[in-house]
Structure 1
């Protein structure tokens, strides 16, 4: 049964953030707010947690395209090939923000990402995921929460999200209503930035 933690973005309670970190370190799955839609995530270095995340999304882990959530660009060199100066400047101008950037992966990716040629990097403009990554000491793997209703597409009410995922996740962070527009996905693996999905962010 999922535990609901009311964590306020303006002043996140340290003891509750510490509980989230403990859960992630113990292989737990969390649902958390972002600057776009609510998302579901886990410890990127815990292969069992990653498999659990894939099961929740009803896909095989080796087919999963989970984003890597960072709190700044310092983790880029851990997971991606060197980036051209112009692209790096472009990235810096858009981060933090409602964007997922597709970059060429290097060979140091966590076990669950082995074999992936590219990886999606995201730095949300929201204090809670930034604080979680900072306190955890490394990024988390993440994917948006899609709604079964094709018209609604993304769930915004954390209480309804908690009901739906009650037996699938360990913690639901309630920070009030989320957005219903996902991030803009930008591919930076070619000669120039290419928008793969237009979402909340404008390029």
Structure 2
């Protein structure tokens, strides 16, 4: 049964954040709100977190996981940035964008695209996510909480708990967030290609 956390959207309770980080450090999987929509997330060293996300969403190994980072300075450890990508991401974040870039050696192979060796990165604005990331001290491995039989991501924390009670370890409820996932921009070839239009304005990359 998943633990349920009612967390203030602007001033997250430190005790709740600490308990959620403890779950993540213990290998757990959480459902949490972002500045675009709900997502599933686990720590990078979770032994089965990625496979649990794949099972919930029925994803294959070509799915691009996203590393959700607290700040721009973290990106260089996990993705290769040329000058153009550096400037584009710096100017656009924090905001609801996911950027696809070549992964560094610090990204486990099972998280990167098997052929392209790329991974998604993003820097969200949501205060709850920022609090989680700061206390965790590393990115979250994450994916949009879009279930296979749903046209849109789930938006209500209690409904998410009812739907996923047996397959996640915790649900964070900070009120409803949006139904639009991030806008996905592929920068891996040296130029921007918008792969998905979502909450972030795509025009700056066209």
Q: Structure 2 length normalisation: TM-score?
A: 0.90
Aligned to 1:9: 9
Q: Deviations over 1:90-139 (max 9, x none)?
A: 11111100000011112221353265611100111111111111111110
Structure 1 runs (4+) greater than 6 angstroms displaced: none
1:47 to 1:99, Cα distance in 2 relative to 1, 3 A: same
Aligned to 2:71: 72
Aligned to 1:190: 189
Q: Would the aligned equivalents of 1:104 and 1:189 in 2 still touch at CA under 8 Å? A: yes
Given the alignment, which residue of 105, 108, 111 partners 2:106?
108
CA distance in 1, matches of 2:110, 2:47: 6
Q: Deviations over 1:132-175 (max 9, x none)?
A: 1111111011111114233xx12111111111001111110000
Deviation at 1:57, TM superposition (A): 2.1
CA distance in 2, matches of 1:164, 1:96: 30
CA distance in 1, matches of 2:164, 2:22: 20
Deviation at 1:34, TM superposition (A): 0.3
Q: Would the aligned equivalents of 1:45 and 1:110 in 2 still touch at CA under 8 Å? A: no
Q: Would the aligned equivalents of 1:47 and 1:112 in 2 still touch at CA under 8 Å? A: no
Deviation at 1:58, TM superposition (A): 2.4
CA distance in 1, matches of 2:188, 2:64: 16
Aligned to 1:144: 144
Q: Would the aligned equivalents of 2:64 and 2:118 in 1 still touch at CA under 8 Å? A: no
Aligned to 1:84: 82
Q: Structure 1 length normalisation: TM-score?
A: 0.91
Deviation at 1:189, TM superposition (A): 1.3
Please give the residue correspondences for 1:1-203 in structure 2 after superposition, counting only pairs within 5 Å.
1-60=1-60, 62-81=61-80, 83-110=81-108, 112-113=110-111, 115=114, 117-147=117-147, 148-150=149-151, 153-202=152-201, 203=204
CA distance in 2, matches of 1:112, 1:75: 20
Q: How many residues align?
A: 199
Structure 2 residues not aligned, in runs of 5+: none
